[in-house]
Structure 1
């Protein structure tokens, strides 16, 4: 049986969605290659070792996804260390606060390079190599932040570049369906990955109809399902998994 090999980008700390996805996939028997740009080297090595405690192989690289050649280079590293991947999870994101008064070309370019270009090129480079090798089944999951659910005031560059991922996902899914590659996107909603202050939690908690704030494991469980055989008939979807979050 062919081994399951997953690539997860944007794994920089223990409490993030990326780390939760890696753990979910490792528990399900996936070898995991994760990117950890600007993460603590000691933490990354300890995290890799922890993933291997599930009986799988794991490697990582400090990849700067803003570089134009990052997607191709990353896949080369994955193939050299673990083999050709079966799953791509585009979790990495770049975000700075802005608004119409602060938005400029430099900020737009920085957001575009990571949020759009790196995601788009990793998806398409994976698909091209997949087709050349004659693979039979692959999964891509892209992370959005619910930009089509409502405005994100003060985050024009982030909202616009992450919002583009939803449109890209729908069209790419149609192109790759004949190859046997499923492409979906997940919007996890407001998730407590360590950035929420107690004041923010108090403000958000009443808006979650499920009675609690989202945690990284919520997104990880959904992604774990989307890359299983049970989800073979699901493609081209942008899934808003927000626990009934009320935006108004």
Structure 2
């Protein structure tokens, strides 16, 4: 029997989604893309592997081609493009590609992020500007381009942004990241209001500590002790929430920042 993923059946059948930050098989973007494909959507997956290559965890050894192959390969329901969101024109190109590839766009999942470890003493204008551009500016411009391209006669207009836990506890060792993610938190309600009359919802997800291979052993143990389940979140935990927010079942929810942290007890770290 043909699977749901293969035949495009499911609660998101007929919908077209953009998922940004799909660069590593162990990452959140990969799990979200797989969940949306399994729900029947067609997906344009965006990545920017050079960012991961410059981080301690490194780029996926399989490369973008291997990541797409693990999702079933590019074809009628999956396309891929690589763009650097430091370029202000990149959001427009990503949305345009989705429309060219699939004829419409219904769901935007802005999962991409630039990580930046700078304390106050280390803080630089260049890193503040770059983190703002990639994390906050690109999310706002992606939403603008999505709104311009969206056909309101189609059901299920959804924008799903990604913030972090900076509103719940300080992140003083990674200020450019925390500041830019804080901007996403604050823009969510205003973007939701701007699009509410068009039937498009806008929400943000704070996924909490998620095991995507970036933490060292000591941090993994310390954070694990503060999580009631005794484990970090998984990319699949996040993907289930995003799939629900992308579905018709979430139609009454907009302007919200959803903290999906498994009861994370920061005071216990």
* TM-score bracket for this pair, using the shorter chain length: over 0.9
Aligned to 1:165: 184
Structure 2: stretches of 5+ with no match in the other structure: 1-11, 50-58
| Structure-to-structure mapping, 1:14-53, within 5 angstroms | 14-38=25-49, 43-52=63-72
Aligned to 1:107: 127
- Whether 1:121 and 2:132 are equivalent positions in the alignment is no
- Superposition RMSD on alpha carbons, in Å? 2.1
Structure 1: stretches of 5+ with no match in the other structure: none
Aligned to 1:64: 84
Q: Please report how far the alpha carbon of residue 41 of structure 1 lies from its aligned counterpart in structure 2 after TM superposition.
A: 9.4
Aligned to 1:211: 230
> Paired residues, what number?
247
Q: TM-score, normalised by structure 1?
A: 0.93
User: Aligned in 2, Cα 1:55/1:102: closer, same or farther, shift over 3 Å?
Assistant: closer
- Whether 1:12 and 2:31 are equivalent positions in the alignment is no
CA–CA separation in structure 2 for the residues paired with 1:55 and 1:28: 17
Q: TM-score, normalised by structure 2?
A: 0.86
Q: 1:97 pairs with 117, 126, 138, which one?
A: 117
**Does the CA-based 8 Å contact 2:110-2:160 persist in structure 1?**
yes
**Does the CA-based 8 Å contact 1:11-1:19 persist in structure 2?**
yes
User: Aligned in 2, Cα 1:68/1:54: closer, same or farther, shift over 3 Å?
Assistant: closer
**Does the CA-based 8 Å contact 1:103-1:156 persist in structure 2?**
yes
- Which digits, 9 at most, give the CA deviation of each residue in 1:32-75, with x for residues without a partner? 11111126695422333443479961010111111011111111
**Does the CA-based 8 Å contact 1:27-1:54 persist in structure 2?**
no
- Whether 1:190 and 2:209 are equivalent positions in the alignment is yes
